[in-house]
Structure 1
Amino acid sequence: MAKEHLGLALALGIPVFVVVTKIDMCPPHVLDATLKQLSRILRSSGCRKLPVAVSDRKSVVMAASRFVGQRVCPVFQVSNVTGEGVGLLQTFLNILPLASCSAASLMPKSPTPASPIASEDEAPLRYDINEIFAVPYVGTVVSGHLSSGSVRVGDMVWLGPDYNGNFVATQVRGIHRKRAEVECGYQGQSVSLALRKISRSQVRKGMVLLRKDDHEVPPTATCTFEAEVVVLYHSTTITSRYQAMLHCGPVRQTAQVLCIRPADTDESTDQTALDKQRNALRTGDRARVLFQFIRHPEYITLGSRLVFREGRTKGVGKVVRVLSASEERNVMKQVKNGTMVVDQRIDAVQAETIQLKTSDPAEPKTRKVPTLS
């Protein structure tokens, strides 16, 4: 499982650090063998990481300053029994720079006539919902992560999509962060929001909140999108109609593969392209795959990272195109027509085979013997 997590982090481009635990109960030779194996894995051609053993505060500062955007992979050795290495790990987590936004962007800014609001307010709001609660005397409370923008008490937002792909308007009544009431939340923070006039049954995991001022009309959800994917591991081949659990931000839903095209193709979806480029994927292959959600529409944006799995992780990718309702109907019609052509060919071959099997064999030509009168 640790190797799978490491491979998934490397495929998604996420910086990693390693914590070796329970060093108090491990014999010295076993600990040395584990560290050597870990160093060999991190230095391999697939990882190309530079393991750095953290032993003092000076190395902690150096590892934190070079952690984001470089090949450095800090390695900590900790023991929860003796407390060895725990302080170094806490220091590293405290001084680690934020990946989503810098510390300077989170400092309060004095409004000026040229820019009356902060840069976070100018960015479009996106809040991913991960948990839903029904709090007595408060109402519906959602918990999630601020992917972009900022949210304040009293903001009007769009909530959705529901099972039909629709968005509803609501208002933020209150914001809590780390069990404390706050007036606003910023990008990269995990906060809880109390929503006005929204019942618990109207909210589900995977929904998003978007600022109403950023979208004059309700946003649109989609069932079909195209992504450029890389297959990490699969024992057999991945073909059309293959189904897997797909994760994209807060979205967790089963998706089906409609068609597969080479990664260097354009965005054309004509019938010739769909018929010509139907193929299979194996471990290590890269291609552009057209996915379709099985149950209901979801809110998907361009550039979003995705992971699809079937038990273990099968592949990762990035969304390169989101289809509108008209494009979705057109593509579905083309895919259906392509499938019908194949089915008709199969039916024709089967009919010909059945006809050959059921037809009477040719009568052997026998030589007639003249009879004597």
Structure 2
Amino acid sequence: MAMLVKTTEQAVTAAKGIPSNRITPILPISNVTGDGLENLRRILYETSPSALFKAGLSASTLATTKSINQEESITVAAPTATDELKTPAISVTDVVEMPIDETYQVPGVGFILAGTLVTGSFKINDTLQIGPDYNGNFHKVTVRSMESMYMPLKELVPGQTAALSVRSVNKKFVLSRTTFRKGMILLSPEIKVDDYVSRVFEARVVILHHQTTVTVGYQPMMNCRTIRQTAEIISIESNQEVIRTGDRALVRFRFIHAPEFLKKGMRFVFRDGQAKGIGKVVRIVPAEQCEAL
């Protein structure tokens, strides 16, 4: 449940509900006047490890809460001793994962991608894959050059925001803004993207505010990382046919225009005018099952 924090007392109450995932504090803060900073400091103080243990929370409870909040680790295809393929889970720090914030077509330079690297690292001339396009496909590209804050880079590391000049590995395929868009993702070439790309997914949602009710056929705008696309609720997996403000439910969404790259555990917000809600991805529906929906 979202909680607007404007006083010290509200900050203390919000901090107590954070470990159980029952409360998500929303803090209005001004970087001009400093209003709200004291409430932020209070929440950070109340949720420190020492404060949590004093409140009677065990280390196992904290570890469980942390694991619940983590996103799914990406899997890759790797050869075994018999040269057969399998999909072992690897550390997220080893996999390149860069959501695309914007795309540009610069005369004399070519196709440009801009985004912030979440995990992994790569250098100039490395081969990566970008997608999904409107058909759910990924395309291999080579990094020609990159820069951040007008400074050229030889290597990009997690947390850095940069613009990349890329070219297609397939000489017959032309990169353009009509095919590639904001919301796509740049990944390591060995990632099995079929496990994460789909138009349909299931999520647990909470309706923060809606003037009436939400039911099947509702089409809000969804924001998840850099993804921004309209999605339709095609089913509500609960005993109730409609959900209202404050209700929680397991629902199934379908993107209207194109498939997207999603992982189990990703959090998102959805909105429609004054209506707002939050959710967490719990399952990606395989593409072959989407055709029957």
Q: What is the TM-score with the length of structure 2 in the denominator?
A: 0.68
What does the per-residue CA deviation read over 1:274-325, in whole Å, with 9 as the maximum and x for residues that have no partner? xxx4511111111111000111111111111110000235100110000002
Q: 1:242 maps to which residue?
A: 218
Contact 2:124–2:143 under 8 Å retained in 1:
yes
- Other structure's SS at 1:18 match: coil
Aligned residue identity for 2:288: S
Contact 2:101–2:183 under 8 Å retained in 1:
yes
RMSD, matched Cα: 3.5
Structure 2: state its 5+ residue gaps.
7-17, 50-69, 71-89, 169-174
Q: 2:12 maps to which residue?
A: none
Contact 2:100–2:113 under 8 Å retained in 1:
yes
Deviation for aligned residue 1:326: 2.7
Q: Which of 274, 277, 283 is the equivalent residue of 2:245?
A: 283
- Other structure's SS at 2:237 match: strand
Q: 1:186 maps to which residue?
A: 157
Seen in structure 2, the aligned counterparts of structure 1 residues 313 and 305 have a Cα distance that, compared at 3 Å, is: farther
- Other structure's SS at 1:239 match: coil
Higher relative strand content: 2
Q: 2:176 maps to which residue?
A: 199
Q: 2:132 maps to which residue?
A: 161
Contact 1:133–1:200 under 8 Å retained in 2:
yes
Q: 2:141 maps to which residue?
A: 170
Q: 1:223 maps to which residue?
A: 199
- Other structure's SS at 1:148 match: coil
| Greater relative contact order (CA < 8 Å, ≥ 6 in sequence) | 2
Deviation for aligned residue 1:255: 0.6
Number of aligned residues: 232
Structure 1: state its 5+ residue gaps.
24-34, 43-48, 53-62, 72-99, 101-118, 263-276, 333-373
Structure with the greater alpha carbon radius of gyration: 1
Higher relative helix content: 1
Q: 1:151 maps to which residue?
A: 122
Residue 292 in 1 paired to residue 254 in 2? yes
Residue 214 in 1 paired to residue 191 in 2? yes
Residue 255 in 1 paired to residue 231 in 2? yes
- Other structure's SS at 1:162 match: coil
Deviation for aligned residue 1:151: 2.3
Q: 1:318 maps to which residue?
A: 280
Contact 2:217–2:234 under 8 Å retained in 1:
yes
- Partner Cα distance (2:23, 2:126) in 1: 33
Seen in structure 2, the aligned counterparts of structure 1 residues 147 and 50 have a Cα distance that, compared at 3 Å, is: closer
Runs of 4+ in 1 over 4 A off after TM superposition: 3-6, 10-17, 49-52, 66-71, 119-122, 217-220
Aligned residue identity for 2:187: L
Seen in structure 2, the aligned counterparts of structure 1 residues 139 and 296 have a Cα distance that, compared at 3 Å, is: same
Seen in structure 2, the aligned counterparts of structure 1 residues 235 and 70 have a Cα distance that, compared at 3 Å, is: farther
